[in-house]
Amino acid sequence: MAIIYVKVEGNNINQAIKKLKKKMEREGFFREIKKRRYYEKPSQKRRRQEMESLRRLRKKMKRRVG
């Protein structure tokens, strides 16, 4: 994971925090934290990755048709 920088302009910390959260969301930081909260067995991890792959494929095919 890359280091995320946010420039604070004019002592506006609330805006900087908002930007930081948005950047973290785009990088998938929160998803990663949720995934690592509990141990996932290798077989479960494989099954989850296959399901995510199928979901992406179906979504891609749906876009082509629709």
**pLDDT value of residue 4:** 85
**pLDDT value of residue 1:** 61
In a domain, 56, yes or no: yes
Q: pLDDT of the chain along its 66 residues, tens only? A: 678 889 999 999 999 999 999 999 999 999 999 989 999 999 999 999 999 999 999 999 988 876
pTM over 0.75: no
**pLDDT value of residue 2:** 73
Query: Which has the closest alpha carbon to 5: 23, 25, 26?
Result: 23
Number of separate domains in the chain: 1
In a domain, 45, yes or no: yes
In a domain, 17, yes or no: yes
In a domain, 4, yes or no: no
Instruction: Provide the residue range defining the domain that includes 35.
Output: 13-65
Q: Report the distance separating Cα 35 and Cα 29, nearest Å.
A: 10
**pLDDT value of residue 3:** 85
In a domain, 26, yes or no: yes
